[in-house]
Chain A
Amino acid sequence: MMTAPTPPSVAWLLHLNALVGGMFLLTSFGLVAIRQVQGCVRLYVLQSVLLAASALLLGALLQTWHLYAVGVLDVVSKAVLIPLLLRRSLHDEIHMRREITQVFNIPTALLLALALAITAFFLSGPMLAEAPHDPAAGVNLPIGLAGLFLGGLTAVARREAVPLLLGLLSMESAAFFAGMALAPELPLMAEVSVAFDVLVLVFVVGVLTRAVHERTGTTAVGAMTTLREGPSV
């Protein structure tokens, strides 16, 4: 497949990147299935660390210092600041919750996740065929797209506020995971602003969830369905 022999360091970087990608996909599946809120937060932190690891590996591979900066920024904002913000803006007892009922039960959710992952891999094929051959993109794009869909599934299937939010954040992480391989030269300012935006989002959502909790006594935001057409309750 390769026309020129790759130097061993490049090959090793690609191997490690593939490994990081596999584990990233696993964390996306885990977010769909794990019941405990604390577990979800830890899984998200792990996912962010893996994202940073991939950024550093791709940075070494493609020789762009942009990606090194992205990796560092990522660790600081997502792995450190977001859990801190979540802890600050929500009551402690929210973190001790477990999600007893979800919209689908876990095996069904996992099977749906599987179908979505297969779809993502299917869709990546034609896209990768159009661009010049790039082994890093061949790993990052399908996994990023799958992570995007799985994050969406998490946001739809979960009822509790924190796992729902983490599902949304993991969608954005997955989009970034794919984007790092597709657009490594994207100006750094864009990536800094994305990180800032995510932080503001988490802060805002934390405030909102606290308000919901104080108003309605529950954080099962996915179960709020009073606004609709038809006879008012």
Chain B
Amino acid sequence: MNLLVIPAIPLLAALLSAVAPGRRGAPAVTLAGAAATLALAVWAAARVAAEGPLISIAGWVEIDGLSALVLLVVAFVAAMAALFSWGYLAAHDYAPRRVRRYGLHFNLFVFALVLVPVLAEPALVWMAVEFTAVFSVLLVGFDDTPEALEAAWKYIALMFMGAAIALLGIFVLFWAQAAAGGGHYSWAALREIAPQLPPGLVVAAFLFILVGFGTKAGLVPMHTWLPDAHSQAPSPVCALLSGVKTVTVLYTILRLVPLLPAEDLGGWMQAIGLVSVGTAAFLLLQVRDYKRLFAYSTVEHMGIIVVAVGFGTQLGAYGAMLQIVSHAVTKSLCFFAAGSALLLVGTREIASVRGLLRTSPLVGTSLLFGALAIGGAPPMAVFLSEFAIIRAGLARGAYLTTALLVGFIAVAFAGILLHVNRMVFGAPPAAETTAPPHALPFTCALTLVLGAIPVLVLGVYQPVPLHALMTQAAAALAPVVVP
């Protein structure tokens, strides 16, 4: 089966949503498309875990361990978000035209997200990353309030700036390959001739792509758009943005890691990651909006992934892969919980929300659960991945980095719990002042329950195929060893 079928499904769903009738047509099409994509992605990932890289068009469309992992994660979160969108759109009771617009943009966004890991030619990957940005802008501004529009403007401006810088990096990378003797421009071919690439050019290309795509992934100091965009967008879209879009962009940066020359650039990567983790940890102490809280947490986790890769060992890379998976499932759950809370309470302000556990036990519990999970409490998935990363750091001997990492994670944990505790516990405000604008739709509740399952499961057990896939993905980050 040609791998191009996988992105074709959301594209088809997008076209169908644009003409689907009524208020339920577009969400139904979206859900069906996302489910089909998930099924195919699981199949493809299982194939790769068992047999190695899957090639459809050599040099253009192929997936190996790393891209299969990202594809799986994207498809899973997209399916969850599609399920949540059903209830979300129903609760808001938008006009059919607006519902269709949502469906179109949502599916196009998923199409672009799925396209990134499937393609193997860096220039086309750049194009796919650009598409993820372009197709999500109107989703960020979907609420049509001045704040949402401001967030959308900042988002697109910074996205495009990053894209232009990264484009130059892609060109320089091609130049480096041409200087080393040419060959087809794909990730695999680049990895094979990595020792012959002129080191200065590779480092220059890496820096351009790091700055350019780092802007899109939310690395500090280019992260300023992230809290705005991820808080103003509708919650299912936030789940996609935070959970997988940042990871997808980070994936493209990670593809360059095996090409870097042998000098110890790991130290620099650890530093860059630590700056992100530290800044995010301290910034989230003084947020006033609980969606921004989770957005800063995304910045923090992206930093942790970069630090893990910076350790340069197989253990560190494995930890990074596990972190990618656990962050995706956990962060999407957090945003679903936050979205449900927003539906119930009608405000994003932390100070205005009290006693969520009494107002709605399901939402309160899942919000608390999500906050604990994302902060890194056992026995949830993120704890396991962060533990693996810390172990990798200690094994590597990077004691300072690991100590700082632990400290920042602790600060972030405290910050998140501080805010969420205030929201969840206590007595709800008097009924006259805050009447819940919407009741919680069934599909939203279902998403919360379903989303919690992987978080718990991955905290104690990793299915063997998944483990095999993650090991393969980690191996993709190491330079090819010349026998």
A and B touch in the complex (CB under 8 A): yes
Given contacts A144-B168, A189-B124, A229-B283, contact A182 B174 (CB under 8 A): yes
Check B130 for interface membership: any CB of A closer than 8 A: yes
Contacts of A227 in B (CB 8 A): 147, 150-151, 154, 227-228, 231-232
In the complex, what residue of chain B is closest to A200 when comparing beta carbons? Answer: B134
Report yes or no: A208 in contact with B137, Cβ–Cβ below 8 A: yes
Check B178 for interface membership: any CB of A closer than 8 A: yes
Contacts of B167 in A (CB 8 A): 172, 175-176, 179, 194
Interface residues on chain A, number (Cβ under 8 Å): 52
Complex Cα distance A229/B231, Å? 12
Report yes or no: A126 in contact with B200, Cβ–Cβ below 8 A: yes
Contacts of B178 in A (CB 8 A): 183, 185
Contacts of A194 in B (CB 8 A): 123, 126-127, 130, 167
From A151, A211, A226, residue with most partner B Cβ within 10 Å: A211
Check B446 for interface membership: any CB of A closer than 8 A: no
Check B171 for interface membership: any CB of A closer than 8 A: yes
CB distance from B131 to the nearest CB of A (A): 7
- Main DSSP-derived SS at the B contact region: helix
Contact of B204 among A127, A176, A185, A230 (CB under 8 A): A127
Report yes or no: A168 in contact with B123, Cβ–Cβ below 8 A: no
Contacts of A52 in B (CB 8 A): none
Contacts of B168 in A (CB 8 A): 144-145, 148, 175, 178-179
Complex Cα distance A117/B146, Å? 36
Check B420 for interface membership: any CB of A closer than 8 A: no
In the complex, what residue of chain B is closest to A127 when comparing beta carbons? Answer: B204
Contacts of A152 in B (CB 8 A): 161, 165
Report yes or no: A204 in contact with B200, Cβ–Cβ below 8 A: no
Complex Cα distance A6/B168, Å? 29
Check B179 for interface membership: any CB of A closer than 8 A: yes
Complex Cα distance A190/B175, Å? 15
Interface residues on chain B, number (Cβ under 8 Å): 54
Complex Cα distance A100/B292, Å? 34
Complex Cα distance A123/B138, Å? 37
Contacts of A208 in B (CB 8 A): 137-138, 141, 149, 152-153, 156
Complex Cα distance A164/B164, Å? 14
CB distance from A23 to the nearest CB of B (A): 20
Report yes or no: B149 in contact with A215, Cβ–Cβ below 8 A: yes
Report yes or no: A190 in contact with B124, Cβ–Cβ below 8 A: yes
Complex Cα distance A227/B292, Å? 10
Check A207 for interface membership: any CB of B closer than 8 A: yes
In the complex, what residue of chain B is closest to A189 when comparing beta carbons? Answer: B124
In the complex, what residue of chain B is closest to A216 when comparing beta carbons? Answer: B146
Kindly identify, within residues 189 to 226 of chain A, every residue whose CB is under 8 Å from any CB belonging to chain B: 189-190, 193-194, 197, 200-201, 204-205, 207-208, 211-212, 215-216, 221, 224-226
Complex Cα distance A207/B185, Å? 36
Check A2 for interface membership: any CB of B closer than 8 A: no
Contact of B171 among A126, A179, A225 (CB under 8 A): A179
Report yes or no: A175 in contact with B153, Cβ–Cβ below 8 A: no
Kindly identify, within residues 164 to 201 of chain B, every residue whose CB is under 8 Å from any CB belonging to chain A: 164-165, 167-168, 170-172, 174-176, 178-179, 185, 198-201
Given contacts A172-B163, A175-B164, contact A205 B156 (CB under 8 A): yes
Can you list 9 pairs linking A and B with CB atoms under 8 Å apart?
Answer: A131-B176, A145-B168, A148-B164, A168-B164, A175-B171, A183-B175, A200-B134, A207-B138, A229-B287
**17 other A-B residue contacts (CB within 8 Å) besides A127-B172, A194-B123:** A123-B204, A130-B176, A132-B179, A168-B157, A171-B164, A179-B170, A186-B123, A187-B123, A187-B185, A190-B124, A215-B145, A216-B149, A224-B153, A227-B147, A227-B228, A227-B231, A229-B283
